[in-house]
A = this chain, B = another copy of it.
Amino acid sequence: MVQTATQVLDWLGIVVFALTGALVASRKEMDVVGFAVLATVTGIGGGTVRDVLLDVPVFWVREPAYLITCVVVALVAFFTAHVPQSRYRYLLWLDAVGLALFAVAGTEKAMETGVGATVAMAMGVITATFGGIIRDLLGGEVPVILSREIYASAALAGAAAFVALGAIGVPREAAIAAGFVVGLLIRAAALRYGWSLPRYRSRPGLPHDPRR
């Protein structure tokens, strides 16, 4: 089932993203099926969009273990999600780990299909962010991707580090690990220290007008 380093990242990413979906379900006090649905769409959503765009077979359609894993994660969370002291903080940190994992795994899978580095990095960012986007749309949360702290940029940095190291001849496993660490450190620093990029500001001195 697991044959490559990318698949290991994929499995880990699916488990942690499924867990974030289940945590959103617990915040909305859903029933167990709601847990399973949110955990599954979050766990497999990003990779599904990537595979459809690349026009390769969707990874979980021939391999039921992915779906079953998401449902098991949902069941475990349904009975234990009351344990952590702060579910929202857990959600953000797990989401950060999944983001860094999928940024590298998505980029690598795209490169294996022969697309160029720019598109491959875009696929990494898509894989890393779309599961969370679907989770937040369905669960009625404010999308994490619109958060004020660095988010998609961390995925992009991880993907770029992986591509750059591979291009200069670093062995694949080392490039994968480095890309993951870069993405996670940047997002973790954003969460821990509130790092953010400069934001667009309207012209000073103009009266506020929400329709402009």
For the complex, is A26 an interface residue (Cβ under 8 Å from B)? yes
How many chain-A residues does the 8 Å CB contact rule pick out?
Answer: 61
Q: How many Å from the CB of A1 to the closest CB on chain B?
A: 14
Within 8 A of B (CB), among A3-53: 25-35, 37, 40, 48, 52-53
> Do the beta carbons of A31 and B196 come within 8 Å of each other?
yes
Q: Using an 8 Å CB-CB cutoff, how does the interface string of A56-87 with B read, 1 for contact, 0 for none?
A: 01101110100110000000001001100111
Q: How many Å from the CB of A27 to the closest CB on chain B?
A: 7
Q: How many Å from the CB of A155 to the closest CB on chain B?
A: 10
For the complex, is A138 an interface residue (Cβ under 8 Å from B)? yes
A115-B33 CB under 8 A given contacts A82-B203, A200-B78: no
Q: How many Å from the CB of A55 to the closest CB on chain B?
A: 6
> Do the beta carbons of B61 and A54 come within 8 Å of each other?
yes
Closest to A84 in B: B212
The interface residues of chain B lying within 8 Å CB-to-CB of A116 are 64
A199-B31 CB under 8 A given contacts A87-B212, A88-B211, A119-B60: yes
For the complex, is A2 an interface residue (Cβ under 8 Å from B)? no
For the complex, is A122 an interface residue (Cβ under 8 Å from B)? yes
User: Which of A100-108, A145-153, A170-178 forms part of the interface with chain B?
Assistant: A145-153
Tell me, in angstroms, the Cα distance from A86 to B203 when the chains sit together: 12
> Do the beta carbons of A202 and B29 come within 8 Å of each other?
yes
